[in-house]
A and B are shown apart, each in its own frame.
Chain A
Amino acid sequence: MSGDKNMKKTNPNYLSARESRAISRRNRKITREFERQNKRKNVPKREYLTEMKDNNNVVEFDNLNTYFFTDVGTVKAVNGVSFDVPLGKTVGIVGESGCGKSVTSLSLMKLVQRPQGQIVEGEIRFNAGDQVYNIAKTPIKEMYNIRGNNISMIFQEPMTSLNPVFKIGTQVDEVIALHSLDIFDSSDEVKKSSDGKVKMTKEGKSKVKKRTMEMLDLVGIADSEKVYNMYPHELSGGMRQRVMIAMSIACNPRLIIADEPTTALDVTIQAQILDILKELKDKLNSSIMLITHDLGVIAGMADYVVVMYAGRIVEKGTVEEVFKSPSHPYTIGLMAARPGVKKDANRLYSIPGKVPNPVDMPDYCYFRDRCEKRFDACYGEYPGEIQLSPTHFVSCYLYDEGASKNE
């Protein structure tokens, strides 16, 4: 035991084998309970159908908490996140890596790595048109109908998210055959077996291919017949990302989640892909949730911006509000850190310090230790959301009139 104490002195994050075992045992108990809920059969509809607060929204995140139960402790990857995605609008989510942007979107798709990752608390209300789902409570089986049909996702790395051993055509066809049932005249043309495989008649196949071609044309692939028979490795990065977009819009989704869609691409290709996304959004009247760390991309694409830091939203508002009058010190820092064309500064601003350890987050403002504007009130608990305008919210004591300022 004395050995443990010595290790603790030199490394505050040190865990003895016994402690680690205790944590994993506790975690297993918690996650097993969540898994049991997820895997239930014949869940009554009233359990997961709800009402939207505002029917003009596609998605409403309401106090979402997604935790990862790891062997070194609980990581609160998303910690009380609330924001709305209005119909036909683009919402940009910015933040550094590890701030929970991707986990937020994965929670919406219910694709968080299970069993460690679980939606612990809160609601995600998704408006599918005729029905409103509470994604947090929806059983996995029901999610199959929502994914692809209503919500689709474009991933960051187009090479790893396309299957290298299937032709482009086969992969896009599969999506359409599984989800777009309205293109078939009768149910004989396509049959789904219980293991997820799809059987189609000749007519069914030709209809699917026709639709695939339309989609490939729509995303600006000139030689769609040729690309249909190609493998992913034969295409360039930009072309692969186009194929990914074609797959994601194949079923006219109400919401497209674009998770860093252009990070792996060149500037010129990035511009092309963003133009395609913008155009398609208007054509299909879908909403986009755009996740990126590039503020330039957000400024050009988004209507609303959500800034995340260490699992929490620090600022949200319309794109003009956030870019013209950034309020949270973290947002201001992020903007100043970006080397800008036509920006005359010899030294770039860099935010001091680093993101706190995700396993045990402090109970005060997570940004306090890195913040240059901290004052007495910051030593209290985590600041609540303060409204600056009808759409602009910030979590910072600087804007709290009740907090005493000691300059």
Chain B
Amino acid sequence: MSENKKVKKNKSVEIDTSYEPIVHDDKYILEVNKLKKYFPIKAGLLQRTVGHIKAVDGISFKIEQGTTMGLVGESGCGKTTTGRTILRLTEKTSGQVLFKGKEIYDYTKPELQTIRPQIQIIFQDPFSSLSPRLPVREIVGEAVKEHKIVPDNEYYDYLDEIMENCGLQPYHKDRYPHEFSGGQRQRICIARALALNPDFVVCDEPVSALDVSIQAQIINLLMDLQDKYNLTYLFISHDLSVVEHISDTIGVMYLGDMVEFGKKVDIFKNPLHPYTKALFSAIPVPDPTVKIDRIPLEGAIPSPANPPKGCKFHTRCASCMEKCKSITPELREMEPGHFVVCHLYD
């Protein structure tokens, strides 16, 4: 009883779960609407919930079939949580995730199993995401067997084909992950994801642990495979030059919010949000004669447990106005398909 009372007293613990549902459009393979993911902060002897980390705080975007969406932002802004919540690897707090028009969170567990092959993920660190005790054929083939992607008699041919497509040799099948270099491991991770014939792949920083020349190989591989199988990617990365290369649309996240969303060309030619501008100006250019006019971002990212009121970016914004400190800006469309959340454009 006393626990309930305490919770009611503390207003910040209550979560606003209301949202307006969207209608499915056949053009899009994935639609995300006001997705929220809060992690409870527990404290005290009874482990009461005293607050929430607002990792993803009501973001919305849509991805068309066969395109790549890049998700950029500083570490801790909720990029990875977004990816994981879409795949239902962590449960959402509120909002909608429509995959091919169906809400992912409406599936029961056995039903979820049946659509899992269609949605896959490639993890960031190829050194910790492969089981050291399994040979490559098990790593790549385990799920193929489980989901019965191909009949048993074609199983080994299928594995060979997938591995060859991902730049691995058939004799690699009997080796263990420790026998491979970083780039090859990432290829195994990609082969594992693609063996299930997915339609949609979340790539969670697939190249940030790799060297420049290996990085180029993996990016080329991902783009080739996209052409071949008409894949859709959600490409999460903090490396803006990689995202610029691979993406068709880009979403910029800051502290759980999507502050800008649009086509790659629009965003790179004409960044609107002050955060996007600052982020782009910080990219080091490999040309010693170019002097960049850097927009400095003062201070660090505020705590997502207690984000600033009004616009979350106002504490670090160079063009902060009075109303930014109290009123939360609304999403507005500046050009067709180019959205920004900022009071500057009211």
Contact = CB atoms under 8 A, between A and B. Distances in A.
Interface of A: 96-97, 222, 236-239, 266-272, 274-275, 293-300, 302, 319-320, 323-324, 333-335, 337-343, 347-351, 354
B244 interface: yes
B181 A320 contact: no
A262 to B, nearest CB: 9
Contact of A320 (B279, B288, B297): B288
Given A96-B212, A349-B216, A239 B284 contact: no
B220 interface: yes
Contacts of B278: 268
B285 A300 contact: yes
A336 to B, nearest CB: 8
A334 B288 contact: no
B288 A97 contact: no
B289 interface: yes
B300 A271 contact: no
A358 B133 CA distance: 26
B213 interface: yes
20 contacts: A96-B214, A222-B299, A238-B300, A266-B238, A269-B300, A271-B284, A274-B284, A295-B212, A338-B241, A338-B286, A340-B241, A340-B285, A341-B244, A341-B283, A341-B285, A342-B268, A348-B245, A349-B216, A350-B220, A351-B213
10 nearest A-B pairs in the assembled complex, by CB-CB distance: A296-B284, A339-B245, A337-B216, A348-B216, A271-B282, A350-B216, A295-B286, A96-B211, A266-B74, A350-B217
A294 B284 contact: yes
Nearest to B181: A354
Nearest to A340: B241
A350 B218 CA distance: 9
Contact of A339 (B242, B284, B289): B242
A107 to B, nearest CB: 22
A323 B212 contact: no
Contacts of A237: 75
Interface string B302-322: 000000000000000000000
Contact of A341 (B215, B240, B246): B240
A377 B299 CA distance: 56
A350 B213 contact: yes
Contact of A96 (B213, B239, B300): B213
Interface string B273-293: 000001110111111111010
B219 to A, nearest CB: 6
B289 A320 contact: yes
B294 interface: yes
A46 to B, nearest CB: 42
A266 B74 CA distance: 6
B40 interface: no
Given A269-B300, A324-B289, A333-B213, 9 more contacts: A267-B74, A268-B74, A268-B297, A270-B284, A271-B297, A296-B284, A302-B288, A339-B219, A341-B268
Contacts of B246: 339
A275 B296 CA distance: 10
B188 to A, nearest CB: 16
Contacts of A348: 216, 219-220, 245
Contacts of A275: 294, 296
Contacts of B268: 341-342
Interface of B: 74-75, 181-182, 211-217, 219-220, 223, 238-242, 244-246, 268, 278-280, 282-290, 292, 294, 296-297, 299-301
Given A268-B297, A341-B268, A97 B287 contact: no
Contact of A266 (B75, B220, B292): B75
Contacts of A351: 213
A341 B250 CA distance: 14
A267 B286 contact: no
Contacts of B217: 350
Nearest to B73: A266
Interface centre among B215, B268, B278, B300 (most CB of A within 10 A): B300
Nearest to A321: B288
Given A319-B288, A334-B213, A351-B213, A268 B279 contact: yes
A270 B213 contact: no
B287 A323 contact: yes
Contact of B285 (A96, A299, A350): A299
A297 B220 contact: no
B241 A341 contact: yes
Contact of B300 (A236, A298, A324, A340): A236
Nearest to A351: B213
Contacts of A293: 211-212
Which of B219, B241, B280 has most A Cβ within 10 Å?
A: B241
B216 A267 contact: no
A296 B285 contact: yes
B74 A269 contact: yes
B300 A299 contact: no
A224 B220 CA distance: 46
Contacts of B299: 222
Nearest to A320: B288
Given A239-B300, A340-B241, A300 B213 contact: no
Between B74, B239, B289, B296, the greatest number of chain A beta carbons within 10 A of the residue's beta carbon is seen for B74
A53 to B, nearest CB: 27
B223 A347 contact: yes
Most chain-A CB neighbours within 10 Å: which of B182, B212, B214?
A: B212
A333 B216 CA distance: 11
Contacts of A324: 289
A10 to B, nearest CB: 10
Contacts of A266: 74-75, 238
Contact of B284 (A269, A299, A347): A299
Contacts of B181: 354
A223 to B, nearest CB: 11
A272 B296 contact: yes
Contacts of B292: 300
Which of B242, B282, B288 is the most central at the interface, judged by chain A CB atoms within 10 Å of its CB?
B288
Contacts of A340: 241, 285-286
A97 to B, nearest CB: 6
Given A299-B284, A320-B288, A347-B220, A339 B238 contact: no
B303 to A, nearest CB: 10
A351 B282 CA distance: 28
A267 B208 CA distance: 13
A323 B216 contact: no
A344 B239 CA distance: 17
Contacts of B241: 296, 338-341
Contacts of A342: 268
A267 B268 CA distance: 16
A339 B288 contact: no
Given A96-B211, A267-B279, A349-B216, A339 B286 contact: no
